[in-house]
Amino acid sequence: MLAIFDKNVAKTPEALQGQPGGSVCALKDGFLPNHFSSVYPGAVTINLGSSGFIACSLEKQNPLLPRLFAVVDDMFCVFQGHIENVPFLKQQYGLTKTATEVTIVIEAYRTLRDRGPYSADQVVRDFHGKFAFMLFDCSTKNVFLAGDADGSVPLFWGTDAEGHLVLADDVETVKKGCGKSFAPFPKGCFFTSSGGLRSYEHPLNELKPVPRVDSSGEVCGVTFKVDSEAKKEGVPRVGSVQNWSQQI
């Protein structure tokens, strides 16, 4: 999986940006998309225009943590892993028996976007299993990312030379675009375009960046840890559906 989002669509935390060394313009002349297509020649690719790029391949995957891709009403979603409580979630979101993990994520996001009864952290916390997913809503230009509490599924994120968000489940792909400005996506967290990075396990706490040291002993991006001392206020559910989608 590869996704590149314009910095005006999804701005990464400042601590993850600007690490010196090796980053390139991931979208210039199709650099990173072309690299991904060369490694995964059968990949599905979607050009999002000024918003960015998404690609997904079913090749070279772990059969225990399969990748799924779906598009529903201009919502693009890539899911990898396995959710254990699928029957419960199908009932919760009124889905048919044929619904898969990726369509459950889309419907959960739609419910959240359209001012459903659940908070964003509760939506992700209700997913039990090993998973990581990326969703892009074309109608609101909102990116929604999450990974499980144990980091069971590889997901890396970083910024390229122009400050665009780069996501992939392959570390070498991210390194090609981001140099040292990348890191594993934080465990037990979710990210949205407007709300930024938050912990769904500890939604009332802030996250603090911690420099990440790679195997060669050099600083390479940052990890984010829950700050037990710093609390944050919740987001009130007020305003129109469009406005609420920008507060997710």
The predicted model gives 44-53 an average pLDDT of: 95
| CB-facing half-sphere around the CA of 87: CA atoms within 13 A | 0
Please write the tens of the pLDDT for every residue from 10-44: 998 988 886 666 678 999 989 999 999 999 999 99
Please write the tens of the pLDDT for every residue from 191-239: 999 899 999 999 999 999 998 887 777 777 888 999 888 777 654 443 4
CB of 181 within 8 A of CB of 158?
yes
pLDDT at 74: 95
**Residue, of 153 and 246, whose pLDDT is higher:** 153
What is the C-alpha separation between 56 and 74, in angstroms, rounded? 16
pTM (2 decimals)?
A: 0.90
234: left (phi > 0), else alpha (psi -120 to 50), else beta? beta
